[in-house]
Structure 1
Amino acid sequence: MDTENDLAALLRRQDGVVSRAQALACGLTRAAIDHRLARGLWTLLWPCVYLSAAHALGPRVRVRAASLWLGPGATLIGAGAAWWWRLLEEPPEVLRFAVPPERRVRSRIDVKVVRRALEGARTILHGVPVVPKAYAVVDAAAELGLHGGAALMDRALLSGRVTLESLRRAHRSRLGRPGSAIVARLLALAAGGARSEAERRAHDLLRAAGITGWLADHHVVLPGYGTAVLDLAFPAVRVVVEIDGWAYHRDLPAFRRDHARQNALVLAGWTVLRIDWHQIEGDPDAILALVEAALVA
C-alpha cells in the first residue's frame, strides 16, 4: 500500500476532505493523523472529519464534510441536492440530509437532519449519497417556495435533465410532507397552466392600475405572415404584450414561429413587449412600469 499517494488521490477526489476512518484505511496511523492536526496540515471540520490545508473551505467542502460526518446511511436532499446536481447556482445556507428513521443524530447550525426512509431513492454522485434529480427538484421546490421553486423546476425541465412525469412520480412519493401543496401547484403550472394564469394576472394588473384601451386575444392581419392572435393588444397605439408561461414549453419550432411573428409585428409598426409568468409573479410593478412606458413612447 502506497499510503501517501493513496491519501493524496483521495483528498483530490474529495475536495481536500477526509474522514478518520478513510485516513486509517489508507494506512495512516492515529499518531500520524494527530501529527497533521497539530502542525496545521489538517483542520478538524466535524468530529473525525478533516480538511487539508491545501484546499479552501468552500460549498463543496461543506457538503462532503457533513456527508462523511453523518456516514454512508445519510443522503443529501432538498436544495442542497439540487445544487449538487448543478440545478441551482447557489447552495443553501442550511444543508438537509435524510437519515434512516432509527438513526439518532442531532441537527447542527448549518446541517438539518431529517429521519426519512427513502426506500432506495438515492444514488452516489461525485462520492456523495444524494437523491435522484427529479426527487431533488421536487424536494427543493417545496423548500424554496412558489417563486424559487418555479424557477428551479422550469430550469430543470428546460435542460431536459428531468421530465414532467418524473417530477410527478417524485411528488407522489413525498405526498403529505411539508410543501406538498406548493409542489402540486407548480406541477399544474408546468403542465401548461402557467400561461393562462399569467394572462389572468396581467389582465388583473391592468384593471387594478386603471389602464384601459387594451384587448385580449386581438386578431390582426400582418403582411407576409397572415392572421396573428395577440395576447394583449393596445390597437390605438400599436403596442402588444406577448405573454409566455414557462421557458421549457418553448421548443425550437415554437421559438422560430415566435420570432417570425414578432418580426412581422415590428415591420407592421407594433411595439412588442414580452413578459412571462415568472416576471408577473415576481415583480408585477416592473411589468406595469414597462407597459406604461410603452404607451407613452
Structure 2
Amino acid sequence: MRNDDIIEELLAHERVIVAREHPALENALVRAAVGGRLVRPLPGIYADPGNATDLLTRVVAVSRWDPRAIITGRAAAALSYWPEIAVGDLQVASPQRHAPQPGFVFEQRRVPVELVQRRGPFGFTVPPLTAVELATLDDTDPIDIALRRKAADLASLRDALQQTPHRRGNAERWRVLLDSRAAPWSRAERLAHRVYRRAGITGWVGNLKVTVPDWATYYLDIAFVRQRLACEIDGRETHDRADVFETDRERQNALVLAGWTVLRFTWRMLTEDPDYVVWATRAALRVADGKPRRLPVIGPDTPGWVA
C-alpha cells in the first residue's frame, strides 16, 4: 500500500497520526506537511487540514501527544454538559511541564482521578469541577447551567473544590459557591436571590419541585412555601420564544388553580428597579399572611400607599 493511502486510512480511523508510532512514514508525513496536505497541531502530531481546528481533533491530538493530559476549562464543558459553549485555546492540565504551543494552554498540575471522566483515548474534568473552575462572580453561567441541566449539584460542586485545594483563584470560587447556595438555574434567578438577600427577605427556596395533580411537575424559580407564593423569573434568554410563552402561561394557570399566588419578574425589573421587586414580594407575603391589603393611590406624582 502506498504511503499516502496508509496516511489517509490512519486519519480516517484515528483523526491524527503520531509520528513516533509510525517511523516508516516519517518522510512521507514531513513531505505532506510541507506540501500543505497535512498540518501539525502539535510537534510530531499530524492532522487533516480540513478538520485540524475541530474540537475533537484538537482533543485527540493533545491526548495522543501526552497520554496523561486532562482537558479542562471550556473544552471540558463542551465535551460534557455544555456543548454549545464557544471554545478558544484548549486548556490542558498535565503533571508534565510543556513549552507553550499555539492553540493550547498548558497548566502543570495533577487532577484527582475521581474528578476525571474518560471517553476513548482522552480524559476531561467532570462537570462539577469544570463548572466551579470556570465560574466567577461576574460570570456564573458555568455553574447555573450545570445546576439547571442536572450535571452537578451543590454537594458535588463543594466536593470538587475541596478535592482541589491550594489553587490560585479558590478564594473567589468559594465565594461563588456561597452565592450559589440556593441553587440558581440562570443569571436572572441568581440576581433575584441577591436582591432578596440584600433586602433581608427570607423564608424562600430556589427551584422547588412541585407536582400539580392532573397537570405536571414544575420547578418554581423562587418559592415561599408557607405562603404558597411563587416568584417566577423571566430571563430574556428563553422567555422570548413563542413555545416558552405558551408553556409559561399553562404552568402559571396550573399553579394558581392549585392555590399558589404567582408573581413574575423580568430581567429589566431586577436590574433597573429591584426596589419594585422587593415591594411586590413583600406586598404578596403580607396578603398571604392575612394582613391588610395595601391599595394604590393614583396621582400625577410618585404614588403613595394607604392601608
TM tier, smaller = 0.5 to 0.7
Pair 1:175-2:165 in alignment: yes
Residue of structure 1 in register with 2:128 after alignment: 134
2:274 aligned with 1:274: no
Q: Is the 8 A contact 2:75 2:91 kept in 1?
A: yes
TM-aligned CA deviation for residue 242 of structure 1: 4.4
1:116 paired with 2:106, answer: no
Checking the alignment, whether the CA contact within 8 Å between 1:59 and 1:91 is kept in structure 2 is: no
Q: 1:39 to 1:274 in 2, by over 3 A?
A: same
Alignment of 1:195-234 (within 5 A): 198=192, 201=195, 230=229
* Residue deviations 1:131-153 (CA, integer Å, cap 9, x gap): 22322222222xxx1243x2221
CA distance in 1, matches of 2:178, 2:253: 27
Query: Deviation digits for residues 228-278 of structure 1, max 9, x if unmatched?
Result: 6557xxxxxxxxx64599xxxxxxxxx997553357999x9x9x5334xxx
1:118-140 CA distances to partner (integer Å, 9 max, x unpaired)? 24343322532222232222222
* 1:94-140 deviation per Cα after TM superposition (whole angstroms, max 9, x unaligned): 3221111xx33223454222111224343322532222232222222
Per-residue CA deviations over 1:142-189 (Å, capped at 9, x if unaligned) read: xxx1243x2221221222233332222101012332332333233334
1: CA distance between counterparts of 2:83 and 2:28? 39
| Identical aligned residues as a percent | 22
SS in 2 for 1:170: helix
Alpha-carbon spacing, 1:204–1:139, altered in 2? closer, same or farther (3 Å): closer
What count of residue pairs does the alignment treat as equivalent? Answer: 239
2:154 counterpart of 1:164: yes
Shift of 1:68: 3.8
- SS of the equivalent of 1:175 reads coil
Structure with the larger RCO, 1 or 2 (CA within 8 Å, 6+ apart): 1
Aligned equivalent of 1:50, options 40, 46, 57: 46
The one of 84, 87, 100 aligned to 2:82? 87
Instruction: Give the TM-score normalised by the residue count of structure 1.
Output: 0.60
1:190 to 180, 186, 190: 180
Write the mapping of 1:133-152 to structure 2, written as runs, cut at 5 A.
133-141=127-135, 145-148=136-139, 150-152=140-142
Letter in 2 for 1:284: T
- SS class of match (1:117): coil
RMSD: 4.5
Decide whether aligned partners of structure 1 residues 286 and 21 sit closer, same or farther in structure 2, where only a CA change above 3 A counts.
Answer: farther
